[in-house]
């Protein structure tokens, strides 16, 4: 199995898949092989794939998105690694994902949660709510992509490998400048000690081999410790771990006693909903969020602070006696 998994890993890296996708695909392929008693995938086909996906849905009761990720991993294995493109591959039906309304906080609830955060996690929380960034987009922010003169932030290689521009809230400009000054001092100390490199995407690392030490490419939210890159083994200073913000958000939610299942991503949902409540055009919100399809953004129109679908109940119109 190890030889096959190494082939899968090499192919994923050749095609520049993210580390998280690589880890997920390798895990699903290992599960698939073990489910069928270590048979080689070349010996298996449509019936085995469908049996595995059915097992995930019926016995494991995984979500539709999880089942579809497993399917994508297996299709990658057969098409990209084993070079097997059989007619049945396109006939494997994808599970239909359930439509769920996002959890959204009210402006008062956002204020309560932010009041419970402190230090760098307060700034990260303000950034997520104030800009609509995803958690990893915020933590992976580079110094060069924050423009204080134009009051904007450029998100590089966001979801779908797309760039976009969002606003830089004036209320956090001073705190963000202080955070960047801290990152600069940390980077200068690293350079003196012979370190100072940061991860760059493969294409950029090849095009600009010396850029990894440049100040402009450093993370705004650097980790306090250096660590080895899981792919190359090179020791660098990475960005803050997202688990830190997730824990801080959970503790803040517990302290406020707000009865909602909120996560750092909820701040992004709240950003979008509150902009729509303020009367901003849905296309503008779509651009700020980086959605390819406006229908994705339209889900926030269902959770606006106006009751069900913005309709006034007849009970409220006529009252009760």
Where in the sequence numbering do the catalytic residues fall?
A: 134, 159, 265, 268, 291, 300
Question: How many residues comprise the chain?
Answer: 321
Are 302 and 101 in contact by the 8 Å Cβ rule? The answer is yes
Are 212 and 220 in contact by the 8 Å Cβ rule? The answer is no
Give phi and psi for 222, each to the nearest 5. Answer: -75, 150
Give CA–CA dist 8/75, Å, rounded.
12
Query: 3-class DSSP state for residue 165?
Result: strand
Q: List the one residue out of 22, 81, 1 whose CA is nearest residue 231.
A: 22
Q: Return left, alpha or beta for 38; rule: phi > 0 is left, psi -120 to 50 is alpha, else beta.
A: left
Give CA–CA dist 319/102, Å, rounded.
31
- Cβ neighbors of 34 (< 8 A, separation 6 or more) are none
Strands 152-155 and 222-228: unpaired
Exposed (0-12), middle (13-18) or buried (19+): which is 144, by Cβ within 10 Å? middle
Task: Supply 257's token pair.
Answer: 């006693």
Give CA–CA dist 266/138, Å, rounded.
14
Radius of gyration of the chain (CA): 23
Task: Supply 120's token pair.
Answer: 């760098």
Task: Write down the H helix ranges in 59-200.
Answer: 64-76, 107-116, 119-131, 135-139, 173-192
């Amino acid at each position: 199995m190890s030889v096959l998994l190494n082939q899968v890993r090499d192919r994923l890296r050749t095609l520049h898949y993210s580390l998280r996708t690589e880890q997920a695909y390798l895990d699903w392929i290992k599960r698939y092989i073990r489910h069928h008693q270590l048979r080689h995938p070349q010996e298996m086909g449509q019936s085995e794939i469908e049996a595995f996906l059915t097992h995930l849905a019926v016995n494991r009761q995984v979500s539709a998105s999880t089942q579809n990720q497993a399917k994508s991993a297996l299709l990658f294995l057969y098409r990209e690694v084993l070079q097997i493109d059989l007619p049945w591959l396109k006939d494997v039906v994808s599970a239909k994902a359930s439509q769920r309304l996002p959890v959204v906080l009210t402006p008062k609830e956002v204020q309560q949660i932010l009041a419970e955060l402190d230090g760098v996690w307060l700034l990260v929380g303000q950034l997520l709510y104030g800009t609509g960034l995803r958690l990893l987009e915020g933590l992976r922010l580079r110094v060069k992509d924050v423009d204080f003169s134009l009051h904007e932030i450029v998100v590089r290689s966001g979801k779908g490998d797309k760039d976009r521009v969002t606003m830089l809230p004036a209320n956090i400009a001073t705190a963000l400048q202080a955070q960047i000054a801290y990152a600069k001092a940390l980077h200068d100390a690293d350079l003196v000690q012979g370190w100072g490199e940061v991860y760059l995407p493969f294409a950029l690392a090849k095009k600009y081999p010396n850029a990894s030490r440049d100040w402009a490419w450093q993370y705004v939210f650097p980790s306090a410790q250096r660590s080895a890159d899981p792919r190359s083994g090179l020791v660098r200073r990475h960005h803050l771990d997202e688990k830190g913000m997730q824990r801080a958000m959970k503790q803040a939610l517990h302290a406020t006693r707000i009865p909602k299942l909120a996560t750092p991503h909820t701040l992004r949902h709240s950003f979008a909903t509150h902009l729509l409540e303020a009367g901003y055009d849905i296309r503008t919100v779509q651009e700020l969020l980086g959605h390819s399809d406006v229908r994705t953004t339209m889900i926030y129109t269902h959770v606006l602070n106006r009751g069900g679908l913005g309709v006034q109940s007849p009970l409220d119109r006529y009252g009760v006696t």
